[in-house]
Amino acid sequence: MQRRPLLALPLAALAPWCGTSFAAPDPQAVLAASDAIRNPDFSFRLVNTLVEYRQGRQTDSSQLAVYSRPDTVGGQFRSLVRYLAPARDVGKLILYNGKDLWFYDPASQASIRLSPQQRLLGQASNGDVVTVNFARDYRATSAEEEPVQDGDRQPRHGLKLLLEAAMPDASYQRIEMWVDATSHQPVKARFYAQSGALLKTAYYRRYQTVFGAERPTETVIIDGLDPGWVTVMRYGAWVRREVPEAWLQRDYLPRFRPE
């Protein structure tokens, strides 16, 4: 039987191959997958160690215990943050109930409302230290392939997501986020003010197996105006545990006692 060359085949015979198209990734689904890498879907506790650097020299540090519980209704986490260090701040609390932030000082026994954008240490804001799912507060409008350099200055095949605030209580007006194009691991993000000014750039690094998944255990935050002003957040002592509903109530803050 005589074989006909491929180029001589009728176009209809090539349709299964020539007509194949690949759907572009759903930006919101990619964002949700990235959230799931950063955060588990159950209650947990971790210790967040923050270190501030100015021109390469350490200038300040703080250590926080973060207790987080997913809210099955709103899709966001609710968190209680307890200061472990420095000594002047031990025992102070921050409560994030998915909408409002409250700061409690046991010395004055008063709780005051905070803004998520207020700086806690260096470039780390109050909203940065609580557990947050971006897909709840932001709408991803595009996901385009774009190479990106990670926190170790290595080239990565990335997807660039453009995020617009979808909730009035979102910490930032706009975010540009790069994730690994294959795994959807977060690599880099830029956070913008309502004026359009770049507030800071964050790199998600040092992936380790935590709760059965590879998760970033360090975030490096660089000031939008002064690249020599850097804050590093390191996450450790992860424990899966129940976070009681009572802990997440403002009225309970004066009665909270660490275990």
CB 130 within 8 A of CB 64: no
- Grouping H, G, I as helix, E, B as strand and the rest as coil, residue 89 is helix
Ramachandran angles phi, psi of 227, nearest 5°: -65, -10
pLDDT band with cut points at 50, 70 and 90 for residue 122: confident
156-207, pLDDT tens digit by residue? 999 999 999 998 878 899 999 999 999 999 999 999 998 999 999 999 999 9
This prediction's pTM: 0.88
* Distance, CA of 235 to chain centre: 12
Span 99-110, pLDDT tens digits = 789 999 999 999
| CA 223/CA 202 separation, integer angstroms | 9
Q: In this predicted structure, what is the pLDDT of residue 23?
A: 66
Neighbouring C-beta atoms of residue 217, cutoff 10 Å:
18
| Amino acid at residue number 248 | L
52: tokens are 């501030």
Evaluate if residue 6 carries a pLDDT over 60: no
C-beta of residue 95 within 8 angstroms of C-beta of residue 85: no
Q: pLDDT at residue 20 above 80?
A: no
Check pLDDT > 70 for residue 51.
yes
pLDDT at 140: 97
> Are residues 243 and 92 in contact, defined by beta-carbon separation less than 8 angstroms?
no
Contact 202, 221 (CB under 8 A): yes
H helical segments located in the chain: 11-18, 27-38, 126-129, 134-137
pLDDT of 149: 96
DSSP 8-state assignment for residue 251: G
pLDDT greater than 90 at residue 1: no
Rounded CA-CA distance 95/66 in Å is 10
- Where along the chain do its domains lie? 27-253
Asked which of 28-32, 121-125, 202-206, 234-238 is least confident by mean pLDDT, the reply is: 121-125
Burial class (CB in 10 A: 0-12, 13-18, 19+), 32: middle
Q: Are 159 and 144 in contact (CB under 8 A)?
A: yes
User: In sequence order, what are the residues at sequence separation of 6 or more whose Cβ sits closer than 8 angstroms to the Cβ of residue 107?
Assistant: none
Q: How many CB atoms lie within 10 A of CB 21?
A: 5
Phi, psi torsion values for 234, nearest 5 degrees:
-115, 135
H/E element, 181: none
CATH 2.50.20.10, domain 27-253, yes or no: yes
- Please tell me the chain's helix, strand, coil percentages from 3-state DSSP, rounded to the nearest 5: 15, 50, 35
Strand, coil or helix: 31:
helix
